[in-house]
Amino acid sequence: MTEQHFRNLEELYVTAPINALYKPEIQVSNKECRITAPVLKELYHGGGSLHGSVYFKMLDDSAFFAAQSVETVFFLLTAQFNINLFRPVIGGEIKATGRVLVTSRQQYSCESELIDEKGKLVAKGQGIFMKSSMPLEKLFRRA
């Protein structure tokens, strides 16, 4: 793994069309990923707080890119992901941190935490990511 690999992953993330909706920032390092995003009212559910799909996205993305920081040849796929939601989020900013727990030849097990701007834990996730047959370098703009 090199710093260029981490920067390529960051570019891949921020240029994904879906992220135009969420406006996140990402930092990838060895076995870890941090994602920060504003809490946008456009992403609230009818009850007036952040929709659970945003919690899932932040947790899955941070765990995924932590795993992808280690895997340099193939693009990974989420095989399984479980979340626990603890409290609602209204306004401010959220931060997700994903970390690699265990690696094997074909799989990566990761965990992630989502924190609100007051530093309170709002959700946790754990997932398994598997290698696909897609070469990762084909997805990088600078490759």
CATH number at residue 113: 3.10.129.10
pLDDT mean over 9-29: 96
pTM for the model stands at 0.95
pLDDT digits over 120-141, tens only?
A: 999 999 999 999 999 998 898 7
Please state, rounded to an integer, the average pLDDT across all residues of the chain: 95
Q: Phi/psi at 7 (nearest 5 deg)? A: -65, -40
Confidence (pLDDT) at 1: 66
Round to the nearest angstrom and report the end-to-end CA distance of the chain: 15
Express as a percent the part of the chain with pLDDT over 70. 97
d(CA 37, CA 96): 9
Q: How confident is the model at residue 37 (pLDDT cuts 50, 70, 90)?
A: very high
Task: Name the β-bridge partners of 102.
Answer: 109
pLDDT at 34 over 70: yes
| pLDDT tens figures, 78-100 | 999 999 999 999 999 999 999 99
- Look at residue 143 in the predicted model and tell me its pLDDT: 42
Predicted confidence (pLDDT) at residue 18 exceeds the cutoff of 50: yes
* Total structural domains within the chain: 1
| Range(s) of the domain holding residue 20 | 3-139
